[in-house]
A and B are shown apart, each in its own frame.
Chain A
Amino acid sequence: MSEQTVEQKYAPGTHPSLPPPVADRGAIKWVRENLFSSPTNIVLTLLSIYLLYAIIPPLVDWMLINSVFDAGSRNECWEKGSGACWAIVVVRFDQFVYGFYPEEERWRVILAFLLLIAALVPILYDKTPFRKLGLVFSGVYPIIAYFLLWGGLGLAHVESAKFGGFMLTLTIGVTGIVASLPLGILLALGRRSDLLILRVICVCFIEFIRGVPLITLLFVASTLLNYFLPPGTYFDLLLRVLIMVTLFSAAYIAEVVRGGLQAIPKGQTEAAQALGLSYWKNMGLIILPQALKISIPGIVNTFIGLYKDTTLVVIIGLLDPIGLSQAVLADSKWQGLSTEIYVFIALFFFVSCFAMSRYSIYLEKKLETGHKR
């Protein structure tokens, strides 16, 4: 009792603010408010912790601790560890990336990929230095990529049949995305055009493509076209697929863009007309910039869908990563390891699709001009 400290005296109103009670600050407060605020919340929190406990240690164990990276066959893997056999991904990595592309020519694929990034940067970011020059490069990139990938101009010819794995996914995905956007915008404009014949053609095209599953179009590309083409003509299968995928995605883009166009008040067009702007100037300067801005989430959504749909080509015998995994797992040395390969492929798709979706959010924020709806 005698050690009780002497209470300091303060004039009314001069006492310094005390910190909040322990239970009402810092981590404890956060936990109480967010995790244990009500009986339901308590139950859910405990359940989640239990699930994490049940899932994460075995997963880490499987993926990292007991996994095997260095082995020549499945049996060797199973002898070395009880976890994932990543050795199959290590051994077959080149196959998954390049497909059957000749080994001595693979630098061309790498170069094409690096140039693709270089060509995309000026389009995606308007603060890129020397952007105008960059955009010219982006414009000619498809031609460069064509010669790099297929050969010509002194480079050895590589036929489409050698394409496979992730490079096939990227070839189909990027070509489809790049080509379908302008085509889709034109279709959307055509559908809203006053010119009857143009409008009817666009409507028929869009409705036909949207009414048919992509698989059907791919089958048409791979089998039916042979009946239409003159006998003895062989029309590259990959090219047929590229065309079909582009048309398919263009029809969807057209409808997304049309949604954006219809959201623009009529007054905008009328004002532009009153200023004496021609149709193309009106569209290019007034309507499309606003319409496309609204359409960004829908457009990116379509792109991501298209990108993932490229895996459907396995049905017509093009070996994208999924198709290759079938061929790889048929090797008696490796059969029975499907999980590892699917995790690996899923990771690749997640990274690319996540990047697309983040870019779309960045773009939306950048173009946000305060017209919150």
Chain B
Amino acid sequence: MKVSRLFLGVAAASLVASAAYADTLSDVQAKGFLQCGVSTGVAGFAFTDDAGNWQGFDPAVCQAVAAAIFGDASKTKYTPTTGKTRFEALKSGEIDMLARNTTWTYSRDVDLKLSFTGINYYDGQGFMVPKGLGVSSAKELDGASVCIQTGTTTELNLADFFRTNNMSYEPVPIETNAEARQNYQAGRCDVYTTDASGLAATRATFENPADHVILPEIISKEPLGPLVRHGDDNWADLVRWTLNVLIIAEELGVTQDNVMEMAKGTDNPEINRMLGAEGSYGDMLGLPADWAVHAIKAGGNYGEIFARFIGTETDIGLERGLNELWTKGGLIYAPPFR
């Protein structure tokens, strides 16, 4: 068997030595693409389209970063990561950034030595019940049977919530979202609980989505955002400000369609600074002056990306809610571009 030679061949081909991680931007520019860690599939947030390309709310952040660096969103390569491999992939340098439904927590930030570069989705654990149950608040769920994914923080949150409200429940342990959907639809549990975005996505797959309600109570904080590893603040700044630019663009009404027009100069000095018509803000990041133009051009501003992949127009059908701009009563807020 010549398999050993095969191995040697592959080994030689794949032993790619890269320089130290200190200057991620130069590394990325040298290799010519951005290596982005995504999830292996979360409805609307990361999926493969009919042509086999990664799309979704999370890959859109990567595409914006790649566009900011190269002026070309397609210079992104994706590494599907699971909940168990994502942080190792980032820390070992296999990927340059991670955009994968990852909750910003103290221990991940401090102990795992990762830098969260912002929040692109405020999620939280919610409850879904059939309308026929006649329940309008989670406080009325005493004695209910609850479908719950085992081994997750949602399980702990659920226990806490029922204990603090002095209620009892009967857990129905399940492994995956697909399993939960079947159990819930078969009536084996009265309530399904997981992140609100997941509930909405699950409900969208029902034949009669209107027969089910998502209760108003959100019992946990799950701020999701892109992250990079410790040790390269310039790189963290680049990712952070790419996300910020998308948010500011929505706030100031810069869209995918009008960004080229606006880049020529407007009456609004902040837009001019951001799009490179005024000052030399690109230089500060080591990027061309029109980096933000490309980032916005790639997939549109934050609101456009939201609407395209998970908004009410899509089958996922998520309301903006907390993820509305601060000017409209939500939490999405970016520091000023100056």
Contact = CB atoms under 8 A, between A and B. Distances in A.
Interface in A97-141: 99-100, 139-141
The 3 closest A-B pairs by CB, nearest first: A336-B205, A236-B14, A330-B47
B165 interface: no
A218 to B, nearest CB: 10
A338 to B, nearest CB: 5
Contact of A330 (B19, B46, B78, B207): B46
22 contacts: A139-B1, A140-B2, A146-B9, A161-B79, A178-B1, A232-B93, A234-B15, A234-B18, A234-B94, A238-B10, A243-B7, A315-B82, A323-B41, A324-B48, A326-B41, A327-B46, A328-B41, A329-B43, A330-B42, A331-B55, A332-B43, A336-B181
Interface in B77-115: 77-82, 84-85, 88-89, 91-94
A330 B20 contact: no
Contacts of B45: 330
A75 B315 contact: yes
A327 B201 contact: no
A238 B20 CA distance: 23
A231 B79 CA distance: 20
A95 B48 contact: yes
Centre residue among B41, B82, B316 by max chain A CB count within 10 A:
B41
Contacts, number: 163
Interface string A300-338: 000000000000001111110001101111111101101
A92 B10 CA distance: 29
Given A78-B207, A223-B88, A326 B40 contact: yes
Q: Which of B19, B42, B85, B181 has the most CB atoms of chain A within a 10 A radius of its CB?
A: B85
Contact of B3 (A175, A314, A326): A175
A191 to B, nearest CB: 20
Contacts of A333: 50, 315
Contact of B14 (A223, A239, A323, A328): A239
B3 A332 contact: no
Nearest to A141: B2
A239 B48 contact: no
A227 B117 CA distance: 26
Contact of B47 (A99, A161, A317, A328): A328
A103 B101 CA distance: 29
Contacts of A290: none
Given A142-B2, A234-B17, A238-B10, 9 more contacts: A142-B1, A142-B5, A178-B3, A226-B92, A234-B15, A243-B7, A332-B47, A332-B204, A332-B315
B153 interface: no
Interface string A65-82: 000000000110010000
Contacts of B11: 235-236, 239
Contacts of A314: 40, 82
A236 to B, nearest CB: 3
Contacts of B284: none
A15 B5 CA distance: 79
Contact of B84 (A142, A150, A219): A219
Contacts of A100: 52
Considering residues B11, B43, B45, B77, which has the most beta carbons from chain A within 10 angstroms of its beta carbon? B43
A332 B84 contact: no
Nearest to B35: A161
B126 interface: no
A289 interface: no
Interface in A147-186: 150, 152, 157, 160-161, 175, 178-179, 182
Given A150-B13, A222-B85, A332-B316, A323 B80 contact: yes
A261 interface: no
A27 interface: no
A324 B41 CA distance: 8
A242 interface: yes
Interface in B187-203: 201
- Residue among A92, A175, A178, A331 with max Cβ neighbours from chain B (10 Å): A331
A238 B178 CA distance: 28
